[in-house]
């Protein structure tokens, strides 16, 4: 906080963090919010979204996705346990996890112990985001079961915004920051982030998929109608221009 008080300007990634900084004594007019929005040249919010149809056949494919760091705080062990529960009712459900991190050995072991080799693909490698997008587009539903704790309460997962830009619904832990942008109540909020709670949300999305996709499309239109990187980045560029002008004076 001492450095922030000495700085001419303070950048933060979301509005709840800006409010927190202000409560800690940083002058509000010094704080600037620069959201970590997906690059709309890669994640085009105007592109076509997935087809909103899933058959009633429980063996029909229904693909879950997660991409990003494989860390304990992201709760992927709960997603794997939930997958084991969901496939008992819907054997056509499968999941792909893409990313690397220190939780990878745990997830691989769980996949084998739970007998999920036919349902769970784990790509434990780093890939440039441009290479991943085509794989994301094949998914029906994203799963982001972040552990709800003090260290994650102000988290807004960039991957959540990336899925939204692609029109992919996402089961997600409603952190303080997620609720700020997407409301207190949402049918895919993980109010219960246990494996059973994650499984219930996945089943809900599977059974009500057309409605979930329609809700996601409306959220996508509203969110990216106001916020997209190609225009939002002006906050940073204009701030640099003002600071440079101040220095010249």
Residue 203 Cα distances to 74, 167, 190, angstroms:
20, 19, 13
Give 209's pLDDT tier (boundaries 50, 70, 90).
very high
pLDDT at position 136 is 94
What pTM, to 2 d.p., does this model score?
0.92
Judgement on whether residues 198 and 240 belong to the same structural domain of the protein: no
Instruction: Supply the CATH number for residue 187's domain.
Output: 3.40.50.2000
Mean pLDDT estimate for the chain: 92
Report if residue 241 sits inside a domain. yes
Structure tokens at 114: 């739970």
Judgement on whether residues 242 and 132 belong to the same structural domain of the protein: no
pLDDT at position 248 is 61
- Kindly tell me if the per-residue pLDDT of 194 is higher than 70: yes
- Kindly tell me if the per-residue pLDDT of 245 is higher than 80: no
Judgement on whether residues 16 and 105 belong to the same structural domain of the protein: no
Judgement on whether residues 72 and 170 belong to the same structural domain of the protein: yes
Give how many domains the chain has, as a whole number.
2
Structure tokens at 195: 């494996």
33: helix, coil or strand? strand
Give 48's pLDDT tier (boundaries 50, 70, 90).
confident
pLDDT at position 94 is 97
Question: Any residues with CB less than 8 A from the CB of 185 and at least 6 apart, and which?
Answer: none
pLDDT at position 51 is 64
89: helix, coil or strand? helix
From CA 50, how far away is CA 141, in angstroms rounded?
10
Does residue 161 contact residue 38 with C-beta atoms inside 8 Å? Answer: yes
Residues 117-134: tens digit of each pLDDT:
999 999 999 999 999 999
Residue 197 Cα distances to 96, 200, 212, angstroms:
19, 5, 17
Report if residue 47 sits inside a domain. no
Judgement on whether residues 27 and 107 belong to the same structural domain of the protein: no
Report if residue 7 sits inside a domain. yes
What is the β-pairing status of strands 141-144 and 120-123? Answer: unpaired
- Its domain, for residue 13, covers 2-34+233-248
Judgement on whether residues 92 and 73 belong to the same structural domain of the protein: yes
Judgement on whether residues 182 and 239 belong to the same structural domain of the protein: no
Structure tokens at 165: 């830009």
- Kindly tell me if the per-residue pLDDT of 238 is higher than 80: yes
**Pick from 152, 183, 154: nearest CA to 69:** 152
- Would you tell me how many other CB atoms lie within 10 Å of the CB of residue 53? 9
Residues in the chain: 249
Give 242 or 170, the one with higher predicted confidence.
Answer: 170
Give 217's pLDDT tier (boundaries 50, 70, 90).
very high
Give 3's pLDDT tier (boundaries 50, 70, 90).
confident
């Amino acid at each position: 906080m001492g450095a922030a008080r000495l700085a001419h300007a303070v950048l933060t990634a979301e509005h709840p963090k800006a409010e927190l900084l202000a409560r800690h004594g940083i002058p509000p007019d010094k704080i600037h919010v620069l959201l970590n929005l997906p690059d709309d040249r890669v994640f085009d919010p105007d592109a076509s979204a997935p087809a909103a149809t899933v058959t009633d056949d429980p063996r029909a494919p229904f693909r879950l996705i997660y991409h990003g760091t494989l860390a304990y705080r992201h709760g992927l062990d709960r997603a794997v346990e939930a997958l084991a529960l969901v496939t008992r009712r819907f054997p056509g459900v499968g999941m792909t996890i893409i990313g690397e991190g220190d939780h990878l050995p745990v997830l691989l072991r769980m996949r084998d112990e739970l007998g999920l080799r036919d349902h769970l693909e784990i790509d434990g490698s780093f890939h440039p985001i441009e290479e991943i997008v085509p794989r994301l587009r094949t998914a029906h539903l994203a799963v982001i079961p972040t552990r709800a704790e003090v260290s994650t309460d102000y988290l807004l997962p960039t991957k959540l915004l990336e899925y939204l830009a692609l029109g992919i619904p996402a089961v997600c832990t409603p952190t303080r920051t997620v609720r700020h942008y997407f409301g207190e109540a949402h049918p895919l909020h993980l109010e219960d982030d246990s494996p059973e709670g994650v499984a219930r949300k996945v089943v809900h999305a599977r059974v009500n998929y057309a409605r979930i996709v329609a809700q996601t499309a409306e959220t996508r239109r509203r969110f990216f109608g106001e916020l997209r990187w190609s225009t939002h980045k002006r906050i940073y560029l204009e701030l640099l221009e003002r600071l440079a002008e101040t220095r010249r004076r």
